Amino acid sequence: MIDDEQAREQAQAALHQAPLLGDPLLAPWRAASLGQPVLVLDVWRRPSYWLVPVLLEGRAAGFVRVLEDGRVGAVGALYRDPTRLADSPAVVTGIDAPTAARRAVAHVWPEQGETAADPVFVHDGPPGREAWLIEVSRGGQAVRWVFVTPAFVYDRPAGQPRDEARE
């Protein structure tokens, strides 16, 4: 697994690719800087890849996904209109960990002895299916995984792999 500095270097190289700079959606990126890479774990909490924020006007306007071997897996904008960069999220994860924890509260039942762990940023399935994972325990045993994204919250029994047939 490469480290955060190597991920940042790969992301920087990707930003200078001619095809990217010619894309009208990404035209503002000529003035972009890179933020601190975010390590994305798998649901078993093993390091998987890096998400490097592309910063414009103090917002996370986009990302470069750098895989564990250093290859760039994806580059994407987090806005729909390059003239409205203020609509971009504040962080590359879409929401921050404290916000994810607050949104998960409705899925935790303290009256039944449940407690929630701190959020960790994971991909639930293939790279790109990113969410904050909050593990809910009862009596010291993990009972449920709560996944929080900027758009919605979902859960399933702890340790149960994602069932693609149900989606």
pLDDT tens for residues 69-89?
999 999 999 999 999 999 999
Same domain (yes/no): 9, 65: yes
Predicted TM-score (pTM) of the model is: 0.93
Asked whether 127 and 73 are in contact (CB, 8 A), the reply is yes
Give the C-alpha separation, 139 to 12, whole Å.
46
What is 94-105 written as a DSSP string?
Answer: SS-HHHHHHHHG
Looking at the structure of the chain, the number of domains it has is 2
Structure tokens at 27: 């035209």
Give the C-alpha separation, 109 to 143, whole Å.
11
Please report whether residue 163 resides in a domain.
no
Same domain (yes/no): 29, 61: yes
Please report whether residue 166 resides in a domain.
no
Which residue positions in the chain have pLDDT lower than 70? 18, 164-167
Give the C-alpha separation, 39 to 87, whole Å.
24
